[in-house]
Structure 1
């Protein structure tokens, strides 16, 4: 099933207007350019999810992964007030989140793999990474993300767990 880019465009525009945001105000709230908002609201079909979508989701008050839900024909989820506070996370995760710049995040729905769970991926870079290293890191993440999104659920779950 293809992604419904016009549906996402309409949902972003409607949510933006419901918050009485102009495109400029939404761009500022999300920390992205006005052209990013214009492109998202154009409904133009894309080959991959824009890296800016999580920031736009947050600015609209949507939960992470809502943009992808809209692309799949579902409704965006509001930010949950029951989400765990950062202090509820394991210390190992807290430490990793503190080291280096945040490069990207994504939420993968595991329903196609027979689970109702979601996988949250946070991509962090080296603290003093050069622009070239960050670019290389993002390219490596894009490759890994394609592999994660192409999982088809045909693997034996007992093999994965072992």
Structure 2
């Protein structure tokens, strides 16, 4: 029997949904790219198993080699609960209480797509701007891709803003 990439795709997606994870959250848990998860769940035939499959298996609570078993038409074997990777989302510290309520609410809603710190410093300044990019809670892979493309354009724009303009005395 040949490799059944559709069976692997369906099994990975079902396991992810059982764990109530988005593709982005599973990618974070497995420490792989979102594209890796999207490609696995696409069912597209490929020449070889991704080298990061063991990370996805671990994040799903599967034993090592379960992905290969599923490709051959079988089912994954699950790790004993004490062997499973803890859910890192539960270990995330709550946002600092001195943040505005609107920001705290936004940080809790939807998957984290990206974050960056931009140095605002001019002469002698150590000011920084922190940008957190969040997606819609139930965003499709296509929407996440579109959101990341929009962020990439915005990030380029932010990084290319001229730093030599001095604000007026009133700070306007």
More helix by share: 1
